[in-house]
Amino acid sequence: MAYQSYVLVCGGTACCSSGGDKVVAEFKRILAEQKLDETVQVVTTGCLGFCEQGPIVKILPQGTFYVQVKPEDVKEIVAEHLVKGRVVQRLCYDPEQAKKLVAEANIPFYQKQYRIVLRNCGVIDPEKIEDYIARDGYKAIEKVLFEMTPEQVVEEILKSGLRGRGGAGFPTGMKWKFAMQQPKGQKYMVCNADEGDPGAYMDRSTLEGDPHSVLEAMTIAGYAIGASKGFIYIRAEYPLAIRRLEVAIEQAHDLGLLGKDILGSGFDFDIELRFGAGAFVCGEETALLQSIEGNRGMPRPRPPFPAVKGLWGRPTVINNVETLANIPVIINKGADWFNKIGTATTKGTKVFALTGKVNNSGLIEVPMGTTLREIIFDIGGGIRGGHQFKAAQTGGSTPRSTTSRSPRSARSWALAASS
């Protein structure tokens, strides 16, 4: 069915907790009542990022961006925008400049962002695999299985310069290479989704908005290192992310993108979920592995490293959600393309949860090398109440074993303001 307009409603946890699900229900009710549901489609998406202004509604093809939408606003949006083609200025980010700021691209919060990890969040319905496929989803795994050897895949990731986004920034391709070089036999691929830093919700939002990107990336990694089994270790208190992962895994199985003989290639790979009980220490990779094995989550000395001796004593690669979400794009667009983004030593982008006493809090993604000033004042809109900037904390406390040498990389911004 060809639709004339699309109503995208943020379906991330933040917007849902503010009544986003009720906004969706009201749109569907009124459109059906007025017999407009055959020309207008309502889509529940993942996080659009601007959490401070949620629930958010975006209308295509115009790209009109409405903020803090309540169920009682829906009738006016339908009558004015969808029927008469007139923007509801009072619901725009800045009603005084509605003509200029009506589209997402013109809102300062988005202007310095560059989305790779969050490329599909706020764009697709995360519970429809067809939406993911329509945006080059599973194109990378097809390319890998039929055009590349495991060695070529590892070399491409090495060449990209991608570093781990959840810890000390270790080169992702190097970790894969260590595991690939181990003797053939049972190997494992693990996704660390045990995001426990206070105020951090980057990985959770990525899984809520684009779960198939992580499934595809894990399958690519499994092919590269010779693993046939993957585990996603995720906190049990992330019910929306878990539900969307379960839906995505089932859909991937149904289309032959997970399980036995993927796409008729002869390669087998499957993924299971493992739920964490909220133990902060299980964010440390060796403690996480202990927990998956059914043991108490306690860090263990290294070496040997997991790539040599991990789950049940077998070679295991562990990457976090954000790291993995980059993989399909790197395979599709090439390492050289990824290399052009970021700094000389750290390529690509970084996702941050911007929280605290800042005007525009939310989920952001910026190129590596973006300054703290740009994040706080250009994207974040400065300090609330016109106060002077006082301090910022990047990241949070992190579990560290006695052998760990590097703190967790910056993952969220907590801001304070002077009075």
Residue 290 and residue 301: Cα distance in Å, rounded? Answer: 12
For the residues 95-101, what does the mean pLDDT come to? 77
For the residues 301-318, what does the mean pLDDT come to? 93
Tokens of 108: 């300062």
Residue 191 and residue 210: Cα distance in Å, rounded? Answer: 14
Per-residue pLDDT reduced to its tens digit, 258-283:
999 999 999 999 999 999 988 888 88
Residue 188: partners with Cβ closer than 8 Å, 6 or more residues away: 227, 229, 230, 231, 310, 311, 312, 314, 315, 316, 317
Under a CB-based contact definition with an 8 Å cutoff, are residues 399 and 284 in contact? yes
Under a CB-based contact definition with an 8 Å cutoff, are residues 366 and 349 in contact? yes
Residue 169 has pLDDT above 60, yes or no: yes
Residue 127 and residue 246: Cα distance in Å, rounded? Answer: 9
pLDDT reported for residue 11: 93
* CATH number of this structure's domain 349-417: 3.10.20.600
**What CATH fold (topology level) applies to the domain 5-107?**
Glutaredoxin (3.40.30)
| Helical spans, DSSP H, in 354-396 | 372-373
Under a CB-based contact definition with an 8 Å cutoff, are residues 116 and 365 in contact? yes
Per-residue pLDDT reduced to its tens digit, 336-372:
999 999 999 999 999 999 988 999 999 999 999 999 9
Residue 230 and residue 317: Cα distance in Å, rounded? Answer: 9
pLDDT reported for residue 233: 95
Flag whether the pTM goes above 0.95: no
pLDDT band at 414 (very low <50, low <70, confident <90, very high): low
Per-residue pLDDT reduced to its tens digit, 106-165:
889 999 999 999 999 999 999 999 999 999 999 999 999 999 999 999 999 999 999 998
pLDDT band at 316 (very low <50, low <70, confident <90, very high): very high
Phi, psi values for residue 414, rounded to 5°: -110, 120
Residue 405 has pLDDT above 50, yes or no: no
Residue 102 and residue 357: Cα distance in Å, rounded? Answer: 26
Per-residue pLDDT reduced to its tens digit, 366-392:
999 999 999 999 999 999 988 999 888
| Helical spans, DSSP H, in 293-334 | 321-333
Exposed/middle/buried for residue 265 (C-beta within 10 Å: 0-12, 13-18, 19+): middle
Per-residue pLDDT reduced to its tens digit, 204-261:
999 999 999 999 999 999 999 999 999 999 999 999 999 999 999 999 999 999 999 9
pLDDT reported for residue 275: 93
DSSP state of 117: T
User: Domain map of the chain by residue range?
Assistant: 5-107, 129-339, 349-417
CA distances from 333 to 152, 327, 336, 337, 341 (A): 15, 10, 8, 6, 12
Exposure string for 176-213, b = 16+ CB within 10 A, e = fewer:
bbbbbebeeeebbbbbbbbbbbebbbbbbbbbbbbbbb
Residue 200 and residue 192: Cα distance in Å, rounded? Answer: 14
Q: Which of 261-265, 407-411, 415-419 has the lowest mean pLDDT?
A: 407-411
211-225 and 239-254 helices, crossing angle to 10°:
60
Specify the higher pLDDT residue, 15 or 105: 15
Under a CB-based contact definition with an 8 Å cutoff, are residues 12 and 202 in contact? no
Q: Please, what sign has the CA dihedral across residues 331, 128, 8, 237?
A: negative
Q: Give first-to-last CA distance, the chain, whole Å.
A: 56
Range 129-339: architecture per CATH? 3-Layer(aba) Sandwich (3.40)
Tokens of 97: 């400049």
pLDDT reported for residue 398: 47
Angle in degrees, CA 198, 362, 140, rounded to 5: 95
Per-residue pLDDT reduced to its tens digit, 29-49:
999 999 999 999 999 999 999
Instruction: Please count the residues of the chain.
Output: 419
Q: Please, what sign has the CA dihedral across residues 261, 264, 265, 266?
A: positive
pLDDT reported for residue 280: 83
Residue 230 and residue 218: Cα distance in Å, rounded? Answer: 7
* Mean pLDDT, the chain, whole residue set: 90
